[in-house]
Amino acid sequence: MSSDPQTEFKIRVVVATRESERDFFEQTATGRSLTLYSSECLQARVFPKNKVGLSKVYNIAIREAVKEPALLVFAHDDLHILDYYWVDQLAISLRQFQLVGLAGNKRRVPGQSGWAFLDDKCTCDDPENFSGMVGHGTSFPPENLSFFGLPRQEVKLLDGLLLACHSKTLIDSDIRFDEHFDFHHYDIDLCRQAEMKGLKMGTCPLSVIHESAGNFGTAPWIASYRKYIGKWGS
């Protein structure tokens, strides 16, 4: 792991999974990736056999961090982490921004249903507004790469497949995940809160492969979008 003294703090990866804790480390992409890295500063906060919304388990990790501060990395369990220096990359990005992710949108407009979408029909925004890159597939090399735009740019909305922030930032700003959003829109809702509190958000150049393409446009997703619009009005 990093020898940079500025990254000598606890890095706590927070992951909810349907698998048992043992199967998480042996079978999931994120779990298998984490087992490759041996460091006293790296911790995995796993919520095994999870059936509740991501916002609830993420908030538990934030509450725990009141007594045990850390760089919190909220991640899906299907991420192949390919970058040997991923901790350094996150630490560097968090010197420039206060909340970082892997892909995002540099603008926010009324009616957005996701960081990349303009409406409930999943109409894609103009790519010139995007930042970041994500690989897709189940192994290396990925089946395809989604190059959204140059990284380390300031954005208004971030994709929730991976979000990183120092716990102190969230606690001092009184920001928590809204538990009305379980598996959809928790990410852009968090970004709206961060924007209101004046936090700077941006993308981090981190090499990963994401196994899931997402469940956009499904009935639960549409219901969640309506809750999101109901909360924020636009």
Separation between Cα atoms, residue 181 and residue 221, nearest integer Å: 10
The percent of residues above 70 in pLDDT, for the chain, comes to 97
HSE at residue 22, side-chain half, CA atoms within 13 A, is 0
For 104-147, give the DSSP string: EES---TT-SSSSBSSTT-PBPPGGGEEEEEEESSSSSPSEEEE
Distance CA 111, CA 230 (A): 11
Size of the chain in residues: 234
Of 166, 123, 219, which Cα lies nearest the Cα of 9?
Answer: 166
pLDDT at 2: 44
CA 232, CA 16: separation in Å to the nearest integer? 27
**The pLDDT value given to residue 37:** 87
**93-118: per-residue pLDDT in tens?**
999 999 999 999 999 999 999 999 99
pTM of the model: 0.94
Q: Which class in CATH covers the domain with range 5-232?
A: alpha beta
Token representation of residue 132: 């970041």
CB under 8 Å to 15, separation ≥6 — which residues?
24, 30, 31, 44, 45, 46, 47, 75, 76, 77
- pLDDT > 50? residue 193: yes
Whole-number Å distance between alpha carbons of 105 and 126: 10
Per-residue confidence (pLDDT) for residue 8, from 0 to 100: 61
The whole-angstrom separation of Cα 143 and Cα 54 is 27
Domain spans in the chain, listed from the N-terminal domain onward: 5-232
Per-residue pLDDT averaged across 13-17, rounded?
98
Q: Retrieve residue 159's tokens.
A: 């994709």
